[in-house]
Structure 1
Amino acid sequence: MGFPADIRDREAGDGVRLAGNDRGLALLILVHLGLGCVSLIFVAQAYSHYHIFFRYESLPKAIATIAAFAVLTLLFVRASFSFGYFVGYYLFVMIAGYLWLNTFSEFGYNHRLSGFSAAASLVAFLVFALYQPTLPRLLTLSSRDFERLLGCLVLIGAAIAAISACYNFRLVSIEDIYRYRETLSAPTVVNYLVGIATTALLPFAFACYALRGSYWRASAVLIVLLLFYPITLSKQAFFAPAWLIVMLAATRLMELRATIVLSLLVPTATGMILFVLFRHSLFPERSAMPIFQLVNLRLIAIPSLAMDYYNEFFFSHDLTRFCQISFLKPLMSCPYQEPLAVVIYNWFGIGGYMNASLFATEGVASVGPVLAPVSALACGIVISIANGMSAGLCPRIILISGALLPQTLMNVPFTTVMLTHGAVLLFFLWYVMPRGAPEQGH
């Protein structure tokens, strides 16, 4: 006997697909692009000292650029959910923001070349990132072994938190973290372990426990995850538990692709509404502007602005040829002894220590704008392999356990995310995880 159509669609792993759903998704993405551009206008009004500008005379050119770029919406409408879809959409929004800022930028580099390079790099990345290959399954854990593995992951995370607390532990409000974060000091290996635990191991354990209904164990994972906030004084550590809960709830209510779009659209729109209310004296500044700064400036605008900064700097300075990668640096003659984030901050003097995405770091900084699409293509191949390693899993497991990686990839070099943030380890966990578990009613 065949299954009803809605059950077949649910088992296909992309939520319940309704008639016209793809058209609705396309409209949602186009609305998001439009709101993103308006958000950057608001950011330019509030933070022009960050070299973020807006001029009405350049508006027609900016609109035409974004309209042409919006054709890539078709890729996301036609593709099925995968980890590459999740990552690709966040990077799509980031590049759209850069193309908008590029139109108004007052820096002196070749803006046309860099704009074409950024768009081509995204296309090169998506060609493979949206593809899910079939990989041979050489190792799959039994249910009992997997259960033991989950327990070990939580214990490892708790042990890393305890070790890290021996070096840094300070209870401060989120407004004061920048006053103390520069004083944090820990061995490099401890910092790596913290990144791996908070970005990969603990979110994976939370997703597995929560989706099979082990809510007490899932709550324990969130408590361990929250303990890393006074250790790292990081906004991501502070908001990570809430973000995982939101993604868990959202994936119960919506198709996964729509969840991904709304995960950026809703915070952007919220920040914009609060900004407008504040500008019209309908909402206090102390409540509106911190949210607008966190979401619309830091979460959305800064990753795009980093592309502008990196293009300006590396059009007149030596390229790194990948020497910024820690294990390659001793083997090469590198023109920069400090981390690139420090180099960029020292040059511009604003924006903080601005790490940047694969398009800026492995692309513009390493090989220049002409060869940047080749570098992006290689990164897309890695993400495609990750798609293959997660094939057959419940898609909610992939989305929730990987919920912190797309935002990290917007702000951190690709190689750093793969290694020191534990992405490769998460991919391996997906690969060895028994299929059909652990979600109830999948």
Structure 2
Amino acid sequence: MRHIRLLAPIYLHVTAFCLTLFIASQLYPDYHIAFRRDQLPFALAAVAAFLPVAAVFAISEFSFGYFIGFYFYSMIAGYLWLNSFSEFQYDHRLAGISAYASAVAFLLPAVLLKAPLRQLWTPSRVAFDRLLDAILLGGGATLLAAAAYHFDLAQLLKLIRLDGDIYVSRDAFKFPKLLNYLLGITASALLPFAFACFAERRMIMRAATTLGLLLLFYPVTLSKFALFSAAWISLIALAARLMEARLLVIVSLLAPTVIGILMIILWKFGVLQTSVAHPYFALINLRMMTFPSLAMDYYNEFFSKNDLTLFCQISVLKTLAACPYREQLGIVIYKAFGIGGYFNASLFATEGIASVGNWWAPTTAFAGGLVVALGNRISAGLPPRFVLMSAALLPQVFLNVPLTVVLVTHGFLVLLVLWYITPRAA
């Protein structure tokens, strides 16, 4: 019974997400988010057929794969809804079946495989403390190096403006490749890991310093992800002390989604101003929630009419073999559809749809699930709260960039090493 109770908030979230997609179709039709009343029964049937897959979250204990898997489950549910209304001209039945099969293929290993790996070596308490100090110092040094190329504190005043200016600003400067890697690894993996360690040890000043460093990534990179990462990790840390880890994973999507819907309803009744309701909905419900699902619609449309990449989007392979796309796929999709901002996408769209097509997409999803399952095995034995905090930013990263980019550019491989050597007694 304890497990079955989780199905109620999961189904509530799916319902709220579908309502979000309906609202988005009314507010942002330029993004090709459609809704037709005559197709509603088919959309409801497609989403309803996907609901039983949520049983894997009801019967499983928390793990890193549970965290990532639920976000992907939400994304696929959203795509099945969008696919029913899509005005693009690709094989929607095949795409829907492929998305369903890919979700199952990913979730089975990602959520269910979690036998712990034996630690062959762990640092001493003193050495581990020095490692955390080195992460803090390295994070500060990385920020200083990047600030030498770009630092615009005035951009903090824009916060959640979505008028496109930020993309122009970000294109106006470039970092060296090595510094780009350091920025991604530091912001997504190293500093969240350090914060989790400090928070678990109740080292308040060092935890606050870590959050301050994360916040300073925004005037350097002008990334909204960087702007809200400190607040997001703080909320995860607080909520992890108030509720069970699995419920927190579900609520971490459900609560922001419902807030956005309520704000639009209050705006409709004249209680909230447009300047308050629309920016929140656009940032959270549209960009954070809808875009990963919408990306699958765009990628299906584009690659049904153009050559598959056969993984040539991976930078190493692009240098070794001919590739029909010299630019990053996010830029290719942006130019093809004229949407606001580069449209990077998850492993389901890139390593799946773009690389091998819908017929073979479940195989790459299964491989991705095995990679995430490795995270389960390495982090086994660590407190669920610690895993939630140290990996707090990764679900959004997984939703928006290819798996290969998550592994290297955003430091997932580095986090795996840190989890592996973390002394469980510490």
**Partners of 2:217 and 2:352 in 1: CA distance:** 31
Partner SS for 1:21? coil
Partner SS for 1:316? coil
- Maintained 8 Å contact 2:192/2:391: yes
Relative to structure 2, which stretch is displaced further, 168-177 or 74-83?
168-177
What residue is the counterpart of 2:115 in the other structure?
Answer: 133
Matches within 5 A, 1:33-48: 33-48=14-29
**Partners of 1:154 and 1:134 in 2: CA distance:** 29
Return the TM-score normalized by structure 2.
0.97
**Partners of 2:23 and 2:4 in 1: CA distance:** 29
**C-alpha distance after superposition, 1:92-130 (max 9, x if no partner):** 000100010000001000001011111111111111101
What residue is the counterpart of 1:74 in the other structure?
Answer: 55
Q: Which of 31, 34, 37 is the matching residue for 2:12?
A: 31
What residue is the counterpart of 2:136 in the other structure?
Answer: 154
Q: Aligned pairs, how many?
A: 418
**C-alpha distance after superposition, 1:11-31 (max 9, x if no partner):** xxxxxxxxx432321101011
- Maintained 8 Å contact 1:389/1:431: yes
Matches within 5 A, 1:192-203: 192-203=181-192
Matches within 5 A, 1:313-328: 313-328=302-317
Partner SS for 1:352? coil
1:305 aligns with 2:294: yes
**Partners of 1:352 and 1:194 in 2: CA distance:** 20
- Maintained 8 Å contact 1:394/1:436: no
Q: Which of 232, 248, 255 is the matching residue for 1:266?
A: 255
CA RMSD of aligned residues (A): 0.9
What residue is the counterpart of 1:14 in the other structure?
Answer: none
**Partners of 2:187 and 2:275 in 1: CA distance:** 30
Partner SS for 1:397? helix
- Maintained 8 Å contact 2:190/2:415: yes
**C-alpha distance after superposition, 1:183-242 (max 9, x if no partner):** 121111111110000000000000100111001010011111111110010111111111
- Superposition deviation, residue 395 in structure 1: 1.3
**Partners of 2:366 and 2:358 in 1: CA distance:** 13
- Superposition deviation, residue 179 in structure 1: 4.2
- Maintained 8 Å contact 1:202/1:225: yes
- Maintained 8 Å contact 2:4/2:59: no
**Partners of 1:34 and 1:436 in 2: CA distance:** 42
What residue is the counterpart of 1:388 in the other structure?
Answer: 377
Amino acid at match of 1:135: L
Q: Which of 220, 225, 232 is the matching residue for 2:209?
A: 220
- Superposition deviation, residue 280 in structure 1: 2.0
**C-alpha distance after superposition, 1:324-358 (max 9, x if no partner):** 01111111110001111111111111142100000
Return the TM-score normalized by structure 1.
0.93
**Partners of 2:291 and 2:173 in 1: CA distance:** 23
Amino acid at match of 1:282: V
What residue is the counterpart of 1:12 in the other structure?
Answer: none
- Superposition deviation, residue 247 in structure 1: 0.2
**C-alpha distance after superposition, 1:351-395 (max 9, x if no partner):** 421000000000000000000000011111111111111111111
**Partners of 1:137 and 1:206 in 2: CA distance:** 23
Partner SS for 2:34? coil
Matches within 5 A, 1:48-87: 48-87=29-68
**Partners of 1:328 and 1:168 in 2: CA distance:** 31
What residue is the counterpart of 1:280 in the other structure?
Answer: 269
1:402 aligns with 2:391: yes
Q: Which of 367, 372, 379 is the matching residue for 2:368?
A: 379
**C-alpha distance after superposition, 1:266-322 (max 9, x if no partner):** 000000011111122221000110000001100001110000000000011000010
After TM superposition, where is structure 1 displaced by more than 6 Å over at least 4 residues in a row? none
- Maintained 8 Å contact 1:76/1:85: yes
**Partners of 1:76 and 1:68 in 2: CA distance:** 16
- Maintained 8 Å contact 2:116/2:379: no
What residue is the counterpart of 2:72 in the other structure?
Answer: 91
Amino acid at match of 1:435: R
**Partners of 2:356 and 2:299 in 1: CA distance:** 12
**Partners of 2:204 and 2:100 in 1: CA distance:** 43
- Maintained 8 Å contact 1:82/1:395: yes
Amino acid at match of 2:410: H
- Maintained 8 Å contact 2:57/2:66: yes
- Superposition deviation, residue 181 in structure 1: 1.5
Amino acid at match of 1:48: P
**C-alpha distance after superposition, 1:249-268 (max 9, x if no partner):** 10000000000000010000
**Partners of 1:399 and 1:108 in 2: CA distance:** 40
**Partners of 1:120 and 1:96 in 2: CA distance:** 12
**Partners of 1:147 and 1:394 in 2: CA distance:** 18
Partner SS for 1:369? coil
Amino acid at match of 1:300: M
What residue is the counterpart of 1:205 in the other structure?
Answer: 194
Matches within 5 A, 1:235-254: 235-254=224-243
- Maintained 8 Å contact 2:167/2:341: no
Relative to structure 2, which stretch is displaced further, 349-358 or 173-182?
173-182
**C-alpha distance after superposition, 1:408-432 (max 9, x if no partner):** 1000001001101000100110000
Identity %: 51
**Partners of 2:198 and 2:118 in 1: CA distance:** 27
- Maintained 8 Å contact 2:260/2:281: yes
What residue is the counterpart of 1:165 in the other structure?
Answer: 147
**Partners of 1:184 and 1:104 in 2: CA distance:** 39
- Maintained 8 Å contact 2:116/2:381: no
**C-alpha distance after superposition, 1:35-93 (max 9, x if no partner):** 11011000000001100011111111111111110001100000110000000000000
Gaps of 5+ in 1: 1-19, 438-442
**Partners of 2:60 and 2:173 in 1: CA distance:** 43
- Maintained 8 Å contact 2:70/2:250: yes
